[in-house]
Amino acid sequence: MWPDNETEQDFLNFSGVAGTVAEIIVQAQGRPISISVSGRWGVGKSSMIKLIRKALSGRTDQGGSPFIFVEFNAWLYQGYDDARAALMDVIASKLSEEAEKRKTGIEKTKDLLKRIDWLRTAKITAGSAIALTTGTPPVGLIGELYEVVKKIATGQVDAATIKEAEKAASDAGSAMGGIWKAKSTSSPPKEIQALRESFEGALTEMGVTLVVLIDDLDRCLPETTISTLEAIRLFLFLKNTAFVVAADNEMIKYAVKRHFEGVTDDELVTSYFDKLIQIPIRVPPLGTQEVRAYLMLLFVENSDIDAAEKEKIRAKVCVRLGQTWQGKRVDRAFVQSLGTLPADLVAQLDTADRLAPLMTKASGITGNPRLIKRFLNALAIRMAISRAQGVGVDEAVLAKLLLFERCGNPKAYAALTTAVSEDQGGKARFLSEWEEKAAAGETLKLEEPWNDPFVEEWLRLPPRIADQDLRGALYVSREHAPLITPEDRLSSEGAEALGALLEHPDMAASLKPRLVAVPRIEMSIIMDRLLDRARKEQEWGVPDILEALLVVSASDPAQGSRVAAFLSERPLSQIKPSIVPKISDQPWAAGVFEKWSSSNVSATVTRALKTIKAQK
């Protein structure tokens, strides 16, 4: 398995771009600079940030000023703290820590921390700004104190309330005292200007260049995104600073549009970001060579060969990637020439060699490193299942089927699984002619749902599967596509509906019209498969699979008793109160509630049952 984390290991020759960004910062020689690293979700922006830091670490600019780094992930603070204040705190705390180490700039950093505390306490919102000009405490603190007083007035007094009252009063008193003292000399504009001067002075006195690396901005809600950008603006364009912001530009534009409601001019939206960013850098899109190299290096990384050997291969592959413009290739033969590799790794390199072109072009992956890694993790899981259950599955065959499942037309995949299930030998024989023509380079005239350019590319991908028994591969893939035996005899409508219910159970309500067309005799088979999936759930509040069970039982009332029996059999520790209102309107729910009421369910479930009973 491969973890979905950013890394300083370069598998895509991104070090060249990271080195360029580092060189730009070095050549700035303390002049302020802001750089964006943009690209779609999963393309490697976070890893690029890590590589930029690695390229800068240990380097100094021409004046001998060392770099200190602040890494800030706005997404981590979302919902827990104001992103603007959080970024200011992180920067000030890092400078204070460095000042203590270097025994210089200590007073400046202390002053910076005080001013940030002032701004945080003041909560510079529209209401608080007015409060500050009148000398009254910030609205937030008055509100907190008012809420506690209201509790006491209504008789809600306990030890916790008393402590809460003491704290709220103390906070409000401190804020008022501090603000009254500062009233004559402090105001938000003055404090902000003083903060910038303290910040710049601290950097100058310490003789350092601060590099702020901001990641995951495009994962944030619009208000958090804008808050972080506003905080960046506070420190931007001051001497000895460099900001590197990793984000998807389209998501930033969306956040700006949401913030400035009514602004529809894309040029104005783009200008907002452009005013903050001097140098835009885009993560290079991956071509077939890069995707092939990435796949192979992931397999190498997961192999049992020596760590030093892995690093040697990685370094040589990255060098080779830098030469692909000269016509040089990164393929199985090249990687195999770099050392003596075990046979199983060579087989995986061969699989990577063949998969790369499709994974570059397929709309479901399009060369996205994160999606490639997820594909390989899914493949590894299914291979592990096949080994654990003694199912003989060829990895290349399983990879080919998984690729179709991820990138092909769902109706075509359902038709493929149906054909395999109905064939006595478990073969998709109808593919034979198509595979031969595709291998010969002939143009295929396919009908719905097969008339997709992806299908022709997929058919050319070795190995050929028309003459292979695919039941084992489908068996280990049944989490997404059920293996239907000849005895099950689901129609194509039933198989499609079941596949959709298993893959997207939360969207089951949208499948009601399709379920009406499914013969009643097949609804029991569909319910069998859904209950198999449901047994894997460890908590019964409102898991997604419950929605599928309810929709099927509504489409075929005879299935309701099966759902009732299933829920009645669940361990009581798994039952959560949220399931009670969810199923309360079902005709079979009364028996389930009676069973739970007479059993030792949790107190919260008991209260939920009593509430429902009272409502009726």
Give me 302's structure tokens: 């997961």
Let me know whether 113 and 143 are in one domain: no
Q: What's the pTM value of the predicted model, to 2 decimals?
A: 0.59
Let me know whether 265 and 376 are in one domain: no
C-alpha dihedral (147, 151, 152, 158), degrees to nearest 10: -120
Q: Does residue 431 lie in a domain region?
A: yes
Asked if residue 138 lies in contact with residue 117, where contact means CB atoms within 8 angstroms, the answer is no
Q: Which of residues 258, 282, 306 is at a domain's end?
A: 282
Let me know whether 514 and 442 are in one domain: no
Q: Is the pLDDT of residue 313 over 90?
A: yes
Residue positions counted in the chain: 616
Q: Does residue 2 lie in a domain region?
A: no
What pLDDT, in 10s, does the model give residues 539-577?
899 999 999 999 999 998 888 988 998 998 888 888 999
What pLDDT, in 10s, does the model give residues 107-133?
888 888 888 877 766 654 333 433 433
What pLDDT, in 10s, does the model give residues 135-149?
444 434 444 444 544
pLDDT at 126: 34
Region 524-535 average pLDDT: 85
pLDDT at 580: 92
In the numeric block, the tokens 């007083």 are attached to: 149
Q: Is the pLDDT of residue 381 over 60?
A: yes
Q: Which of residues 426, 444, 476 is at a domain's end?
A: 476
Q: Does residue 472 lie in a domain region?
A: yes
Mean pLDDT is lowest, of 7-16, 203-212, 564-573, for 7-16
Mean pLDDT is lowest, of 158-172, 385-399, 416-430, 485-499, for 158-172
Rounded to an integer, what is the distance from CA 340 to the centroid of its chain? Answer: 37
Let me know whether 145 and 26 are in one domain: no
Pairwise CA distance, residues 201 & 205, whole Å: 6
Pairwise CA distance, residues 515 & 513, whole Å: 6
Let me know whether 544 and 450 are in one domain: no
Let me know whether 57 and 140 are in one domain: no
Q: Is the pLDDT of residue 180 over 60?
A: no
Give me 240's structure tokens: 């000895």
Number of folded domains in the chain? 4
Let me know whether 113 and 233 are in one domain: yes
Let me know whether 295 and 277 are in one domain: no
Q: Does residue 442 lie in a domain region?
A: yes
Q: Is the pLDDT of residue 503 over 50?
A: yes
Let me know whether 391 and 250 are in one domain: no
Q: For residue 486, say if its preceding peptide bond is cis, omega within 30 degrees of 0.
A: no
Region 30-36 average pLDDT: 89
Q: Which of residues 182, 199, 214 is at a domain's end?
A: 182
Q: Does residue 73 lie in a domain region?
A: yes
pLDDT at 547: 93
Residue range of the domain that includes 576: 496-615
Q: Does residue 3 lie in a domain region?
A: no
Q: Does residue 7 lie in a domain region?
A: no
In the numeric block, the tokens 């209950």 are attached to: 531
In the numeric block, the tokens 């002053």 are attached to: 111
Q: Does residue 377 lie in a domain region?
A: yes
- For the chain, the average pLDDT equals 80
Region 19-47 average pLDDT: 87
Neighbours of 36 (CB within 10 A): 24
pLDDT at 1: 66
Q: In 39-138, which ranges are E strands?
A: 67-73
Task: Return left, alpha or beta for 136; rule: phi > 0 is left, psi -120 to 50 is alpha, else beta.
Answer: beta
Let me know whether 327 and 419 are in one domain: yes
Let me know whether 294 and 433 are in one domain: yes
Let me know whether 92 and 64 are in one domain: yes
pLDDT at 137: 43
Residue environment code for 433-446, b if the CB has 16+ CB neighbours within 10 A, otherwise e = ebbebbeeeeeeee
